[in-house]
A and B are shown apart, each in its own frame.
Chain A
Amino acid sequence: MDTYKEKEFDKKFDYRLWVAILKQALPHRKLIFILTAVMVVNALIDAILPLITRYGIDKMIIPRTYDNLVPFIAIYIGAILVQFVMVFLLIDLAGRVETGMNYDLRRNCYRKLQSMSFSYYDRTPTGWIVARLTSDISRLGDIVAWGIVDLVWGLAMIAFVLSVIFVLSWQLALILVAMLPLIGFISVKFQIRLFKSYRQVRRLNSMITNSFGEGIHGAKTTKTLVREEANLAEFMETNHKMYRSSVKAAVTSALFMPLILLISSIGTALVLTRGGSLVIAGVIGFGTLVAFINYTMHLFEPISNVARLFAEMQNAQAAAERVFSLLELEPEIISTVPFTDEWKARKMNGAISIRNLDFAYKEGRDVFRNFNLEIAPGESIALVGETGTGKTTLVNLICRFYEPVSGSILIDGIDYRELPLPWIHSQLGYVQQVPHLFQGSIRENIRYGRLDATNEEVEEAARLVRADEFIQNLPETYDYKVGEAGNLLSTGQKQLIAFARVVLANPRLLILDEATASIDTETEQLVQDAMHKVLSGRTGIIVAHRLSTIRSVDRILLLHHGEIVEMGNHHDLMKRQGRYHQLYMNQFMKEITEQELAEGLRPCS
């Protein structure tokens, strides 16, 4: 479980990771190249604006002449206009790189996710994956795109300003250069500290969010356990930590700029003292001094920019590590056989043999050991047994959502690892216990079974499973929006829709995993009829808690700890009076209770 903890990413520069990040930026190299050029021009103009001022002072004010006014205005306005275009381009281009990279990363991650087997999804919480594909990728794109902007601008600016000031007056330039290491050192130190503080704030913030969530979800429990004061005390503790870290981060951040500005004003003061004497001595011009004072300010901004970038690179590295850990996953189930048109046309017979199957989710915790089972084409079997005896696992293995650890599963006489995975999936229909519906209309959800089905076919399928009746009573019938995960429908209604969906798909192998558990007794009777029709002519595997639904299957398998302990049809098993009989009786009583209670009091004859 450690994998999903927020790791501390205080590692040093990870070379391999940055190569991987740059590879992601490769498709945008043209844009990045232009962006770099734009940034250089942008920095150049930022660097020469004080020079233009100097030109005005030295060529006009000092000699008291208007001669150069026209070129001065022309150059000034020209520079401003070029800057206008550059600023627009830099934001727009960086935005393009950012959004483009984010899109590519999201697409690649998503495609990778589609190739991952179920075991990955069993191990990995959905929230974790969602966070990788949303915030982490956003952060990565943001830092790469705007990092380039900061880096290129900062470095170019430093280079330009340094060369200009050395040309202007090397004596004064040396004063400023002497201060650079100090500024650089302070900046990097501060930015790293700031980055760590803010990360701490973010972590505490998500803890506070969770606390609020628990406070609301668990309100009833909290009240009945009289936990209000204790909960508040715990919350206040977290909240106090949040206060302390936030203030710490804010104070660090509040200290940074004043400190840099103070140092730069010391630079200004030194330049003024030394420069003033040089002006009086006639070594440099008046304008040169003024330009120099301007440059002291311009040198410190790019340095703090570059420093911030260094701090953010740690952040980027952490985000990148998580994103690439997803992108570099190896799928456990690989379909080696190509899904050719020939395969697409081929129908499954539905003969399944399981031979010497061993399976375990975790090493040392076997679910199946040397399990064998033959299912004839067109046969319908039912798997029953207590929770945790491997019914759903067996079904998942047959669907090749998982593969056997050892042993083999044959479909139509061929080891299914030698069959194309998409072909297997295209031939089977699978209805889950908690059916998952997608946001959208009922029609869209049923059509998910066969994307090119007509409206008539969709409604036909719904009629067959008796879903039509409740659908007709909904406000917009088939166009009724089912809400997030189908939450506007009851579980029973969702199961009927899922059933219609699989009927529409017309699979050769039909698997019903507790598919009718939440349908009320009356409807279930109707669905039973439909199930008969649907199951005829194809192989069916039914997992059921509710034993009344499986009385008519060809064979019932009672599983216990991964082994078949009883097998036969309903009649035989009842006669045997073993475990199945016991299970059946227990359940029957419960069902009768519910049914009677639902019907309420009837006058007794």
Chain B
Amino acid sequence: MSAIRFVLTFMYKLKLKYISAALCIILAAVFSFFTPLIIRFTVDSIIGGKPAALPFGLDSILPQAFRDLPTALSLVWGALAIVIFSLLGHSCTFLRGKLSAEVSEELARRMRNRLYDHIQKLPYSWHSKVQTGDIIQRCTSDVDTVRRFIGLQLIQLGRGIFMALLILPVMLAMNVKMTLISTVVVPVIFIYAFIFFKQVRKRFQAADESEGYLTTVLEESLNGIRVVRAFAREDYEVARFERAADDYRAKCRKLITVLAYYWASSDLLCLTQMAIVFIFGIGWTIRGEISLGTLLAFSTYINMLLWPIREMGRILTDMGKALVSVGRLREILDTPIEVMEAETNIPKGSRLKGEIEFRGLSFAYTEDNPILRGIDLKISAGETIAILGATGSGKSTLTNLIPRLFDGYRGAIFVDGIELSKYHRQDLRRQIGIVLQEPFLYSRSIADNIGIALEDKDMRRIEAASREAALHDAISDFEQAYETVIGERGVTLSGGQRQRTAIARALVKDPAILILDDALSAVDSETEQIIQRNLLLRKGKATTIIITHRLTGVSMADRIVVLEHGRIAQIGSHKELIEQPGVYKRIWQIQHQLEQEAI
């Protein structure tokens, strides 16, 4: 029930359309059901000269004038009636198709928009946990399953039921015995379809899985082509691929054979039903119990009834799928998003000073594994801080907390003297430039990537930032320079180029706080020095936090923080730290010694 309520929340302002679509089905069914009646009337009373026996006493409504018409003329009237009713009926069918498409596509559109919006606003901790492929699957295939169910299957189901409700009384009114004979196999056809598709689902799954495996084998051997070649294992790989392809073929073959049995036997059942109608019908017609027109009408109606009922069996098994899909979508949408409301709004256009203070800050992703344990640190506006520390010492976590990527820390973080939680997240993030070790670039042009945080695509600012990141020359080498598209179908950038693009992207918006999270790890030493020199020129303009492994990177820092197991082990300027006993001094001494030796 809650699944229905969920779908209904997306149906606002669509319900009327959907009801109209349902109304169209009913009208279409009513009209389509008239055609056989007219044929029967025409055949029996006009051509056969028998008195017409329309159900529900419809014949009494027929105007007397119509009955008195000359035969040839009444034939034309009959034909015209067929065309008119057919036109009306098929117009309704078309309208139904149009309306239900509009409703279901709009529903899908709203679902996708909501999902996209929601996913973007979910806290980052959610993104770091989920499997991307699975979420994409939900946002595309599951939405499609719901869309198809609402737009096609539910409508078909409704049509089938309505047809049955409409035709059965008409048939009963015409002849009870004939009706019983005409519907004797119908329930069997329905149940057979229902059970069959339930049973065969496993085989569909097996074929899908086999295809998935084939794709995996293929991808793997293509990605590992160098290994395959280097060990001259081509034959082995060919055999492996062929085994997978053969398995897929076998699974598909099996599935198709089963389906062949089903369609053949289901066709057999349907044809048997038709045969029964004809054999008994002919017998009864000869005996005079029913008219020839009645027989023809029955044969038409049974045709109208058989195929939708066969489909209904299948649709009912699909209903389960739609329910599962709804559940999977709700799982995403029921996850709470980041709270954006805030007490302090940074006025548009104003700039933070960039003063940061951590007070007794502790943080853990999971209860039993604390990452930060009581950090006390005050960074003044415009200061440059270098953070050194082994893997897992909490460097990245500490910096990730500043743009409020994670909540739930203990202690306090102040920016410009105001507690972080009082800021509007997005206002705050606009003032922070953060560059990650493995940056994400959008699959669009390099210029778009660098200028993505800008209101307008100002090429001068983009180029200036890219020069600062020592990227300009590399970009100029590309055929389409700044318009080169990055990504699967475009140029792939090297790790260092990606990092430099991300640096340019952060610099271009001239942030109040700049964080470089091991952002130069893939850049070679010469380029690194250029970037460092450029950063030095900016010094004082922004509060800068540099996470690094290399001592060369810390030379430009005002203060150096050495983190160990989530605590600050050492803090001070380079001069202070080389006077203190500790890690920093030791590293420095070794390097110094080496330099001495080298000279």
Contacts and interface: CB of A to CB of B under 8 A. Distances in A.
Contacts of A94: 256
A196 B263 CA distance: 30
Contacts of A505: 231
B230 to A, nearest CB: 3
Nearest to A145: B256
A283 interface: no
B101 A251 contact: yes
A65 B42 CA distance: 24
Nearest to A138: B211
B238 A106 contact: no
Contact of B278 (A56, A125, A228, A426): A56
Contact of A114 (B216, B231, B234, B562): B234
Interface in A175-221: 205, 208-221
B119 A259 contact: no
A61 B79 contact: no
Given A91-B256, A276-B75, A286 B113 contact: no
A166 interface: no
B229 A401 contact: yes
B109 A243 contact: yes
Contacts of A257: 93
Contact of A430 (B226, B285, B551, B595): B226
A598 B263 contact: no
Contact of A76 (B72, B248, B278): B278
A224 interface: yes
Contacts of B265: 84
A235 B113 contact: yes
Interface string B510-535: 00000000000000111000000000
Please indicate which of the listed interface residues A92, A99, A286, A428 has the most CB atoms of chain B within 10 Å of its own CB. A99
Given A5-B489, A430-B226, A590-B550, A451 B236 contact: yes
Interface string B410-447: 00000000000000001001101110100110110000
Contact of A225 (B238, B295, B452, B594): B452
Contact of A250 (B39, B98, B109, B299): B98
Contacts of A209: 136, 140
Please indicate which of the listed interface residues A1, A102, A437, A581 has the most CB atoms of chain B within 10 Å of its own CB. A1
Interface string A80-122: 1101110111111011101110110011001101100010010
DSSP class of B's interface residues: helix, strand, loop or mixed? Answer: helix
Interface in B101-146: 101-102, 105-106, 108-109, 112-113, 115-117, 119-122, 124, 127, 130, 132, 135-136, 139-140
Interface string A578-590: 0001010110111
Given A226-B429, A277-B75, A426-B232, A95 B257 contact: yes
B182 interface: no
A602 B264 CA distance: 81
A33 B156 CA distance: 37
Interface string B289-307: 0001001100100000000
A590 B388 CA distance: 12
A217 B440 CA distance: 8
B245 A211 contact: no
A419 to B, nearest CB: 13
Please indicate which of the listed interface residues A94, A129, A265, A448 has the most CB atoms of chain B within 10 Å of its own CB. A265
Contacts of B191: none
A258 B249 contact: no
A449 B282 contact: no
Interface residues of B, number: 153
Interface string B73-97: 0011011101100110011011011
A348 to B, nearest CB: 13
Contacts of A84: 264-265, 267-268, 271
B279 interface: yes
B120 A232 contact: yes
A380 to B, nearest CB: 18
Nearest to A115: B234
A168 B100 CA distance: 42
Interface stretch (B51-59, B173-181, B217-225, B314-322): B217-225
A130 interface: yes
Contacts of B93: 254, 257-258
A118 B225 contact: yes
A259 B78 CA distance: 21
Contacts of A280: 47, 71
A122 to B, nearest CB: 10
A425 B321 CA distance: 51
B595 to A, nearest CB: 7
A421 to B, nearest CB: 9
Contacts of A228: 117, 120-121, 426
Given A99-B252, A225-B452, A125 B488 contact: yes
A240 interface: yes
A214 B448 CA distance: 15
A272 B264 contact: no
A528 interface: no
Contacts of B296: 290
A593 B564 contact: no
Contacts of B82: 265, 268-269, 272
Nearest to B144: A205
A15 B152 CA distance: 39
B162 interface: no
Contacts of A387: 494, 496, 524
Given A95-B253, A134-B215, A590-B549, A254 B225 contact: no
A577 interface: yes
A484 B552 contact: no
Please indicate which of the listed interface residues B259, B264, B267, B268 has the most CB atoms of chain A within 10 Å of its own CB. B264
Interface residues of A, number: 150
B389 interface: yes
A499 to B, nearest CB: 13
A596 interface: yes
B220 to A, nearest CB: 6
A95 B267 contact: no
Contacts of B434: 224
B91 A258 contact: yes
A118 B257 CA distance: 41
Contacts of B80: 269
Contact of B594 (A258, A272, A435, A585): A585
Nearest to A68: B282
Contacts of A258: 90-91, 93-94, 97
A130 B219 CA distance: 7
Contacts of A265: 35, 82-83, 86, 90
Contacts of A593: 388, 549-551, 587
Nearest to A431: B230
24 contacts: A66-B286, A69-B282, A80-B268, A80-B271, A80-B272, A95-B256, A98-B252, A99-B256, A118-B226, A118-B229, A126-B219, A211-B116, A216-B132, A225-B452, A247-B105, A254-B93, A258-B93, A258-B97, A262-B90, A272-B39, A438-B220, A498-B227, A594-B390, A600-B569
Given A259-B94, A592-B591, 15 more contacts: A84-B271, A90-B260, A99-B249, A114-B234, A208-B140, A216-B136, A219-B127, A224-B434, A225-B429, A247-B101, A276-B43, A286-B47, A485-B223, A485-B224, A590-B552
Shortest beta-carbon contacts, A-B, top 6: A254-B97, A95-B256, A250-B101, A430-B230, A258-B90, A91-B260
Interface of A: 1, 4-5, 53, 56-57, 60-61, 64-66, 69, 72-73, 76-77, 80-81, 83-85, 87-92, 94-96, 98-100, 102-103, 106-107, 110-111, 113-114, 118, 121, 125-127, 129-130, 133-134, 205, 208-228, 231-232, 235-236, 239-240, 242-243, 246-247, 250-251, 253-255, 257-259, 261-262, 265-266, 268-270, 272-273, 276-277, 279-280, 286, 289-290, 293, 386-387, 399, 401, 422, 425-426, 428-430, 432, 435-439, 448-449, 451, 484-485, 498, 501, 505, 511, 577, 581, 583, 585-586, 588-590, 592-594, 596-598, 600-602, 604
